[in-house]
Amino acid sequence: MFAAVVRLELRRSRTLLLWLLVLTVGYAGAVAAVYPVLRNNNKLLTDYMNAFPKEYLAAFGMEGSLVDPGVFWTTYIGSMLWPIVAAMAGIIVATRVTAADTERGWAELPLSGRLARTPYLLASILVQALVLALLAAAMVFAVVAFGAIVGAGFDAPRFMLAGVAAWLFGCAIAAVTSLLAAVTLSRGFAAGFVAGGLLVMYLLRAIAEIQKDVSWLANLSAFHYLSGRPIVDEGVLPVGDVLLFVGVSLLAWCGAILVFRSRDLIV
């Protein structure tokens, strides 16, 4: 039964996954393809960036040169692409078996058989992690593959490490969404709260970079722990940041299971 539910959730996710894969590969590949243009115009870009206050550039992860692979990844992938893709996938998949199915009056049907609530939600959690892993892998593959075609010279193992960190960030989003969906049984509330929370955290990080006297605000933002620059440039995986995302994911998913086990599905 567990395997059947996993297959069902994968089937229900196929259209979303397909379009997000197209979006991810298309954007990441296009950005990687223009990297040599950035590299060949490094002086022009540097002069352009020097026209802006360093604090504003830091707010968007643009510290240093855009030709630097770590800055390139953080600016164009880690800030512009992945948070949006991860939020879309995490929110939609994580709210389906609890909030969305309950709102449609369908949740009690699959639970009326021999399958208990815990493995039912575990199947959804497995699919959440798998969907996000596929998207993160496709993102890294597109950057490295298109970069290789145009001679960008990206370090594939380091970009893969950055992809792992991005995947864990996405898992944390999905896990928190799962918990909120189990507690409220409202897809709209859970999605709105998580999306709004991500926007607030993005702004907090930007404010912390612009106004150094409130730099502590960055510690309240998940984006503060998503920096791929040390991974890509130095090949060092920030263990503390990774463990933070792992801890949030495990705690939130376990909380969702505990709540859903005894939650009244009649709303």
| Tokens (6 digits) for 251 | 């705690």
> For residue 62, what pLDDT is reported?
65
What value does the mean pLDDT take over residues 15-29?
96
pLDDT at 111: 56
Residue pointed to by tokens 């912390």: 208
Percent share of the chain, pLDDT over 70: 88
Tell whether the model's pLDDT for residue 113 goes beyond 90: no
Alpha-carbon span 207 to 201, nearest angstrom: 10
Q: What is the DSSP string of 86-127?
A: HHHHHHHHHTIIIIIHHHTT-THHHHTSS--HHHHHHHHHHH
Q: Considering the entire predicted model, what is its pTM? A: 0.90
pLDDT classification of 117: cutoffs 50, 70, 90: confident
Section 20-48 average pLDDT: 87
